[in-house]
Copies of this chain bind each other. A is one copy, B any other.
Amino acid sequence: MLELRHLRTLAALQETGSVSRAAKRIHLTQSALSHQIKALQDHYGLAIIRPRGQTVELTDAGRHLVALAGKVLEEIQATERNLAKMSERVSGSLRIALECHTCFDWLMPLMDAFRRNWADVELDLVPGFHSDPVKLLEEGGADVVIGSQSQQRRGIVHHPLFRFEILAVLAPDHPLRGKRLLRAADFADVTLITYPVPEDRIDLILNVLKPAGIHPHRRTAELTVAILQLVASRRGIAALPSWGIKNYVDHDYVIARRIGTHGLWSNLYASTLAETASRPYLRDFLATARNTCFATLDGVIPLEEKQTG
């Protein structure tokens, strides 16, 4: 018989387009989902997915169920929000600080949605980019810090958001365009265009270039579009999250290359004080943040709860 777990599976399947990715997405094994789907298919006497090359695609019946899943899961989230509001007086603040410039892209629509759902919570974006997020939390300067580096400390909880790949961004006619992937040595003679943050906050430098003893010339820009503008104008190379540049790559404005054999990956966390972590509106914020990120951002991978750094 149909249960919500089936609907959650179907929703994840739609979002990810593959059984194994969907399994990662909802923290189950590929086998579990495969069994679930088989059970549904046997129950209804209809195919829900159909092999499509190496992966699968939804059938007509599958799309019906996916549509149902969307509606139902949304309704459930809405009433669970209402219950959360009933369970305690929710007036509080959610001041968000960013460690990662690119996150603006997905944060803005998320904040809009949040404001609609939690009118009584004071929502704010802490201006500037801060060198010590943990300190910021402890001193009460912010309620959440969204960042890529999580230094463990008592009383601080790092909620995993997702794992993403950082790609090198080049002008379409850049001399290095022929390479399928870039290695540390390729950065020796280029200008690296980055956000205006210290070197130890830039993954490419910290994890790839510095260990190889390479110190390229740096140039900074505040906004992602400005960086891409400079890249396209052949002023240098940038390293940005894959989802942040997808649109520009798709339109051949720039090209993207993997960094190192397995790529340069980074994890994104939302960090809060332990006491903040239990607040219903914070939990809802995190849940919808993950949802919208997985739904809208490309090449984003779930992160285990226990995983660190």
Contact = CB atoms under 8 A, between A and B. Distances in A.
Interface residues of A, number: 25
A261 interface: no
A108 interface: no
A5 B2 contact: no
A54 interface: no
Interface of A: 1-5, 44-46, 60-61, 64-65, 67-68, 71-72, 75-76, 79-80, 82-84, 86-87
B2 A3 contact: no
A61 B75 contact: no
A39 to B, nearest CB: 14
List the 6 closest A-B pairs by CB distance, nearest first: A68-B79, A45-B87, A44-B83, A3-B4, A72-B72, A46-B87
A83 B61 contact: yes
B79 A65 contact: yes
19 contacts: A1-B4, A2-B80, A3-B3, A3-B5, A4-B4, A44-B80, A44-B83, A44-B84, A44-B87, A46-B86, A61-B83, A61-B86, A64-B82, A64-B83, A67-B79, A68-B75, A68-B76, A72-B75, A72-B76
Contacts of A64: 79, 82-83, 86
Nearest to A72: B72
A79 B60 CA distance: 12
Contacts of A80: 2, 44
Contacts of A72: 72, 75-76
Contacts of A68: 75-76, 79
A44 B87 CA distance: 7
Contacts of A86: 46, 60-61, 64
B71 A75 contact: yes
Contacts of A60: 86
Nearest to A8: B1
Contacts of A67: 79
A79 B46 CA distance: 13
Given A1-B4, A72-B75, 20 more contacts: A2-B4, A2-B76, A2-B80, A3-B4, A3-B5, A4-B4, A44-B80, A44-B83, A44-B84, A44-B87, A46-B83, A46-B86, A46-B87, A64-B79, A64-B82, A65-B79, A67-B79, A68-B75, A68-B76, A71-B75
